[in-house]
A and B are shown apart, each in its own frame.
Chain A
Amino acid sequence: MLSIKNLHAKVEDHDILKGLNLDVKAGEVHAIMGPNGAGKSTLASVLAGKDGYEVTEGSVDFDGIDLLELDTEDRAKEGLFLAFQYPVEIPGVSNVNFLRTALNEIREYRKEDPISAKDFMARVREKSALVELDPKLASRAVNEGFSGGEKKRNEIFQMAMLEPKLAILDETDSGLDIDALRIVANGVNKLKTKDNAVIIITHYQRLLDYIIPDFVHVLADGKIVKSGTKELALELEEKGYDWIHEKA
């Protein structure tokens, strides 16, 4: 589904990604772990197409499409979803209005008819229940006045509404208490099918107790320096990231 080859990227004049390789197949869950400053969030931003990140080398193939050629919105329309580490508050734009606009633009791109108001609201109810998000929050302005946990649940709610092929969860677990973490993880697990894939970017092993990854990768200094199965995450938790540096 996703094939990243020798990806180099810089922000302003700093090289952040320095030859990153990653292959994600449908039905898989990958966790990318690493110390602060390793380039984890840069990877998420580059994949989502944020301005200010310059790809200097390498390629990203997303189901046969050159992802790096697409605008941010078209990447989303092709089925890429980024759950933000810091969801943005947008006063005056209601969650519902925003999601219906997004959903209909995605459907238009896929040459499907717009969703009816009735079907849309039914979907809002069903998917907000999935992450135990108060349906009232759905009609409020995007993330405005939401608690940290509500913001993260709102991200997963949006993911549920848009049903992406590939979801990248950027530090979705940071700042969450155990209950919120369990709710978020539960939502992600319920959305998992054999046809979609998830990349979990995290600093901590904790989330991986709830969402079991098929593969764990360690990102350090802009490259994946070690890959393994879920046991690798436990080992990292125990020994810390310095252990990787020592080995490398």
Chain B
Amino acid sequence: MEALQENKVVQFTEGWQQPDNLTSIRNEAKQALNAMDFPTTRVEDWKYTRTARITNKTYTQKEATSDIAPYRIPNLKCHELVFVNGYFDKSASTFLEDDGLSIQGIETLDEASYAEILEDTEENVFSLINKAYSTGGLYIHLAKNKKANYPVHIIHVLTGNGVIANSRHFIEVEEGAELYVVNSYNSNGAIDSFNNNVLEGLIGENASLTIDKLQTEENTVFHISKENFIQDPSSRFLMNTITIGGLLVRNGINILVEGANCYSEINGVYLGREKQDLDNHTFIDHLFEHCTSSETYKGVMDDSSTGVFNGKVVVRQDAQKIEAYQSNGNILLSDKSTVNSKPELEIYADDVRCSHGSTTGQLDEDALFYLRARGINKKSAQKLLVSAFIGEVLDKIKNETTRAHIDTLFLEQFGWEF
């Protein structure tokens, strides 16, 4: 017992609700945690993200309700699944008629096949905490050759002081099927609370999954996510991550491309103000030939905010004829803001086309002068240029209703128009 108490991770989870049926997945995760510690900035993968800001606080798991009206996407007719503090709120959720699409609790997912699907994905201490203590989640399943009638919007709300939300979802899109998911993380009067979430998925052969992730939490909230996706042959995966909220955010997308002829695209926009730390880690692992991946992340950092981009692409020896493109651009609006950008390409195949580029700078002075010389105020000119800069990424959001919602958010929060 004494040995356990010295373990910071075990201490961190002390007093959290134990589910009645300790499944093997939970058990294994708990066992693994006993031997783990939280990462320090000496660990390369967490070098720029001081998680002590999160882990030196204590959290409780607390079921709650919240008004969700502000987090709906106006005019988007969709399945709305609501999670408050990581607990599913069925009464606030809406299911529409959609044959072929099944949305159940994650406990209905067969553990053996789940373990097999995600065999080759990596866990970290936070995803293991989630796995051991998750308080709920969805198993979204779309049947073969079906196109869902409606998008799925998973609305996460965090509310209260010192609360941790451990939601965990799994999306399975069967062969030839097509699904669009919006995953939004919001908070409503949450202070020193922590969204520790996991989203995983399997995109079947020739299937297509698009996810738009919107993070609009208050700047008093921590957010760590682990997003693991497996792509079967000829599948298409697109994920856009829009981060405008959260005090410390760490997004971790891992894509395992387990088949030939796949298309993978991940894009992100992160906008930091005040003392926000916004970290995007991505990892695309190409195991098979004739695949394309594309990655565009753009950050705009103001005040004393910090941005991190770490994009890793691995092209394995058998993965010939791969095209992998990656670009990261950042604009610093203040002297105190910083960005750490680290593209990593590991290529073991010899017939590939890969490129990466990273730029960090201030707004183009010549462009600013040109706009001002036409009578546009300095502030408006900056807004025009910033809007243009991130507009390229926002244009990747294909759903016009979601896009309009994001445009509204940006206008309200930053005064930026597109």
Which residues of A come within 8 Å of B, CB atoms?
Answer: 48-51, 71-73, 75-77, 81-82, 84, 87-88, 90-93, 97-99, 101-103, 105-106, 109, 141-142, 158, 162
Nearest CB on B from A167, distance (A): 12
| Residues on the B chain within 8 Å of A105, using CB | 375-377, 380
- Kindly supply a per-residue 1/0 record for chain B positions 293-318, scoring 1 wherever the CB is within 8 Å of any chain A CB and 0 otherwise: 00000000000000000000000000
Main secondary structure of the interface of B (DSSP, over half): helix
> Do the beta carbons of B374 and A102 come within 8 Å of each other?
yes
List the B side residues contacting A103 at CB < 8 Å. Answer: 375
Contact of B375 with A102 in the complex, beta carbons under 8 Å: yes
Q: Are A72 and B373 in contact (CB under 8 A)?
A: yes
Task: Give the chain B neighbours of A73 by CB distance below 8 A.
Answer: 372-373, 375-378, 381
Contact in complex: B374, A90 (CB < 8 Å): no
Known contacts A73-B372, A76-B372; is-contact A90 B377 (Cβ 8 Å): no
Of residues 321 through 369 on chain B, the ones whose CB sits less than 8 Å from some CB of chain A are 364-367, 369
Chain B nearest Cβ from A226, distance in angstroms: 29
Q: Which B residues form the contact surface with A (CB < 8 A)?
A: 364-367, 369-378, 380-381, 384-385, 387-389, 391-392
25 residue pairs bridging A and B, Cβ less than 8 Å apart: A48-B369, A72-B373, A73-B373, A73-B378, A73-B381, A76-B373, A77-B375, A84-B373, A87-B370, A88-B366, A88-B367, A88-B370, A90-B371, A90-B388, A92-B387, A98-B384, A101-B376, A102-B375, A102-B376, A105-B375, A105-B377, A106-B375, A109-B375, A142-B370, A162-B374
Complex CA distance for A71 and B376, rounded to whole angstroms: 11
- Chain A residues with CB under 8 Å of B365's CB are 51
CB atoms of A71 and B378 under 8 A apart = yes
> Are the C-beta atoms of A91 and B374 separated by less than 8 Å?
no
Q: How far is the CA of A77 from the CA of B377 in the complex (A)?
A: 10
Q: Nearest residue in B to A161 (C-beta to C-beta)? A: B374
Residue in A closest to B369 when the chains form the complex, CB atoms? A50
Q: Roughly how many angstroms separate A177 CA and B366 CA in the complex, as a whole number? A: 26
Determine whether the beta carbon of B384 is less than 8 Å from that of A93.
Answer: yes
CA distance A87 to B381 in the complex (A): 16
Given contacts A50-B369, A90-B367, A98-B384, contact A158 B374 (CB under 8 A): yes
A46 to chain B, nearest CB (A): 13
- Which of B371, B374, B375, B392 is within 8 Å of A92, CB to CB? B392
